[in-house]
């Protein structure tokens, strides 16, 4: 297996994995979406709410705000020594005290732990009119996207097979496929069409070029044909800001490794191997 990154910054990673099956690619995708823990607001104690939103709606909106998450700092509540009561080891506490007229943003949510603020400052929560007030305390805990989407660390996470573009000798360079391609992948060559260097992986496999070629009356087979490599996958992963995207990938891979090790242990128990 080979992994090559074409982009890796705090929020976005784009990489190609070569030599794996579709099952493996999908396992990695699902692990990144639903098995990487993050903080999200789970309980809200409302002291005052004279806004136009019900308490429940307000709490729901707060739950969806991504929070910076240091997983070395917080443990899931179920694994905490407080046995689910809630303590600083498993719970991040926030206060919100605002009065209108004002648009309330995520930055108005004040964290007790300065290392666990909202990931973005300008997420709008509600518009307050004159004399409307909200006073509350919110408690965030660690869980995974498997339990609820608010604990997903990714906002976008998907893959596609690596595109293969073949152009036959029948191509007369009419250029209809170039005009039709929405990704700007093709350009005019010498009497034919060719793929622009470095843009092949941008192809979305939409096959509009094939249709344009056929519409030009070339016959029953287009001169350009689109396929894909079944063992090469292009991933794009975007973090919601709760943690660097690199950490999301690493934690997803660790989850897969742990699960595989567990499975091997169970198999060894069943077959009696490794128990000596």
Helix (H, G, I), strand (E, B) or coil at 31: helix
- Among positions 27, 62, 125, 176, the unique one binding ligand SF4 when judged by CB under 6 A: 176
What is the contact mask toward Zn ion in residues 188 to 207, using x (rule: CB under 5 A)?
--------------------
Q: How far apart are CA 146 and CA 259, in angstroms?
A: 15
- Among positions 9, 172, 265, 269, the unique one binding ligand SF4 when judged by CB under 6 A: 172
The partner in contact with residue 224, picked from Zn ion, ligand SF4, none with C-beta cut-offs of 5 to 8 angstroms by kind, is ligand SF4
* Short-list 37, 64, 6, 69, CA closest to 244: 69
- Among positions 3, 52, 57, 87, the unique one binding Zn ion when judged by CB under 5 A: 87
The partner in contact with residue 176, picked from ligand SF4, Zn ion, none with C-beta cut-offs of 5 to 8 angstroms by kind, is ligand SF4
Provide the angle, in degrees to the nearest 10, between the axes of the packed helices 22-34 and 245-271.
110
Contact between 117 and 67 (Cβ < 8 Å): yes
Tell the smallest beta-carbon distance from residue 158 to ligand SF4 (Å).
16
Helix (H, G, I), strand (E, B) or coil at 248: helix
Choice between 30 and 199, CB closer to ligand SF4: 199
- Counting contacts by CB under 6 A, is residue 89 touching ligand SF4? no
Contact between 3 and 16 (Cβ < 8 Å): yes
CA 158 to chain centre: 8
- Among positions 52, 82, 156, 215, the unique one binding Zn ion when judged by CB under 5 A: 82
- β-partners of residue 97 are 135
Tell the smallest beta-carbon distance from residue 236 to ligand SF4 (Å).
16
Where would I find the H helices in the chain?
Answer: 22-34, 55-63, 176-180, 208-215, 245-271
* Short-list 158, 149, 159, 160, CA closest to 242: 149
Tell the smallest beta-carbon distance from residue 10 to Zn ion (Å).
29
Contact between 12 and 237 (Cβ < 8 Å): yes
- Among positions 119, 203, 234, 245, the unique one binding ligand SF4 when judged by CB under 6 A: 203
Residues in the site for ligand SF4, rule: CB under 6 A? 165, 167, 171-177, 180-183, 185-186, 192-193, 203-209, 212-213, 216, 218, 223-224, 226
Residues in the site for Zn ion, rule: CB under 5 A? 80, 82, 87, 89-90
């Amino acid at each position: 297996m080979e992994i090559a990154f074409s982009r890796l910054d705090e929020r976005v990673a784009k990489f190609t994995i070569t030599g794996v099956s579709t099952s493996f690619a999908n396992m990695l995708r699902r692990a990144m979406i639903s098995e990487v823990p993050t903080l999200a607001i789970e309980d809200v104690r409302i002291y005052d709410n004279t806004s136009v939103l019900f308490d429940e709606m307000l709490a729901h909106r707060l739950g969806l705000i991504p929070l910076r998450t240091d997983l070395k700092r917080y443990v899931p509540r179920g694994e905490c020594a407080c046995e689910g009561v809630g303590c600083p080891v498993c719970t991040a506490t926030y206060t919100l005290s605002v009065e209108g007229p004002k648009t309330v943003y995520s930055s108005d949510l004040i964290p007790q732990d300065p290392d666990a603020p909202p990931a973005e400052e300008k997420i709008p929560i509600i518009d307050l009119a004159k004399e409307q007030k909200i006073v509350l305390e919110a408690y965030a805990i660690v869980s995974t996207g498997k339990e609820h989407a608010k604990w997903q660390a990714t906002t976008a996470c998907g893959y596609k097979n690596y595109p293969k573009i073949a152009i036959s000798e029948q191509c007369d360079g009419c250029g209809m496929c170039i005009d039709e391609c929405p990704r700007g992948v093709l350009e005019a060559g010498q009497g034919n069409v060719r793929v622009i260097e470095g843009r092949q992986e941008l192809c979305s496999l939409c096959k509009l070029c094939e249709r344009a070629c056929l519409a030009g009356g070339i016959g029953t087979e287009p001169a350009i044909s689109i396929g894909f490599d079944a063992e090469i996958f292009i991933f794009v992963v975007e973090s919601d800001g709760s943690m660097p995207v690199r950490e999301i990938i690493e934690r997803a891979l660790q989850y897969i490794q742990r699960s595989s090790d567990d499975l091997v242990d169970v198999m060894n128990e069943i077959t009696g191997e490794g128990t000596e």
